[in-house]
């Protein structure tokens, strides 16, 4: 009796490998460096903007002022 051939499962029986990733080009590295610098600059601006706010505005998540002069969490 002849041996039966295995039925294909729909997937390739060949082992798949990832394509080689090329090193980043100098222009790509420049773009990434510029993007990182811009991100840092915007973060510093955000911090400065929030520090410029009055204390009760920038710390409003901690407590609420009551009309009688007290505060509560």
Q: What is the mean pLDDT of the chain?
A: 79
pLDDT band at 25 (very low <50, low <70, confident <90, very high): confident
What is the pLDDT at residue 2? Answer: 64
Identify the band that residue 31 occupies on the pLDDT scale cut at 50, 70 and 90. very high
User: Mean of the pLDDT values across residues 28-48?
Assistant: 95
Q: Residue 58's CB: how many other CB atoms inside 10 A? A: 13
Distance of CA 20 to the CA centre of its chain: 25
| pTM for the structure as a whole | 0.48
Cβ pair 66, 72 in contact under 8 A? yes
> What is the Cα 48 distance to its own chain's centre?
22
pLDDT computed for residue 26 by the predictor: 87
Q: Is 72 helix (H, G, I), strand (E, B) or coil?
A: strand
Is-contact 64 71, C-beta < 8 A? Answer: yes
């Amino acid at each position: 009796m002849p041996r039966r051939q295995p039925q294909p499962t729909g997937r390739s029986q060949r082992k798949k490998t990832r394509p080689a990733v090329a090193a980043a080009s100098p222009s790509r590295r420049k773009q990434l460096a510029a993007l990182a610098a811009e991100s840092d600059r915007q973060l510093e601006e955000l911090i400065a903007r929030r520090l410029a706010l009055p204390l009760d505005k920038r710390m409003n998540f901690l407590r609420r002022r009551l009309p009688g002069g007290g505060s509560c969490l």
